[in-house]
Chain A
Amino acid sequence: MPNLDHPAYPADDLFHLESLVPCRESQVSMLLSIFGERQQFSFPSIFIYGHTSSGKTYVMQTLLTTLQLPHVFVNCVEYFTSRLLLEEILIQLQNRSPGTEQTSPVHCDTLNDFVRLFKQAVASQKLQDETLYIVLDRAEQLREMEANILPAFLRLQELTDRNVTVVLLSEIVWELFRPNIGCFEPFTMYFPDYSIGHLQKILSQNHPPEYSADFYAAYINILLGVFYMVCRDLKELQHLAALNFAKYCEPVVRGEANERDTRKLWKNIEPHLKKAMQTVYLREISSSQWERLQHDGGEPGQLKGLSAHTHVELPYYSKFLLIAAYIASYNPVRTDKRFFLKHHGKIRKTNFMKKHEKTSNHLLGPKPFPLDRLLAILYSIVDNRVVPTANIFSQITSLVTLQLLSMVGQNDQLDGPRYKCTVSLDFIRAIARTVNFDIIKYLYDFL
Chain B
Amino acid sequence: MEHIITPKVEYVKLLNRYPEKKSVLGTLYLTATHLIYVEQTNNTRKETWVLHHHIMSVEKLPLTASGCPLLIRCKTFQLLHLLFQRERDCQDVYQSLLRLFQPVKEEELYAFLYNPHQNEEDRRQGWEFINVANDFSRMGLSNDYWEISHLNKNYEICSTYPSILGLPKNVSVATVTGSAKFRSRGRLPVLSYFHKDTKAAICRCSQPLSGLTSRCVEDEQMLQAISQANSNCPFIYVVDTRPKLNAMANRAAGKGYENEDNYSNIRFQFQGIENIHVMRNSLQKLLEVCSMKSPSMSDYLTGLENSGWLRHIKSVMDAGVFLAKAVCEERASVLVHCSDGWDRTAQVCSLSCILLDPYYRTIKGLMVLIEKEWISFGHKFSHRCGHLDTDPKEVSPVFTQFLECVWQLSEQFPCVFEFNERYLIEIHNQVYACQYGNFIGNCQKERLEMRLHEKTFSLWPHLLKNQHLYRNPLYRRSLECTVLRPSTLPLHFKFWCGMYNYYDRGMHPKQSVLDQLLSLTQKQVEGERTMTELQRVRGVVGVVDFVRVERYLTDMTLSPSHPFTAAGCCRWKRASQTLRFQITLLELNPPSSKSRGIHFLPNGISITLS
Whether both chains belong to one complex is answered with no
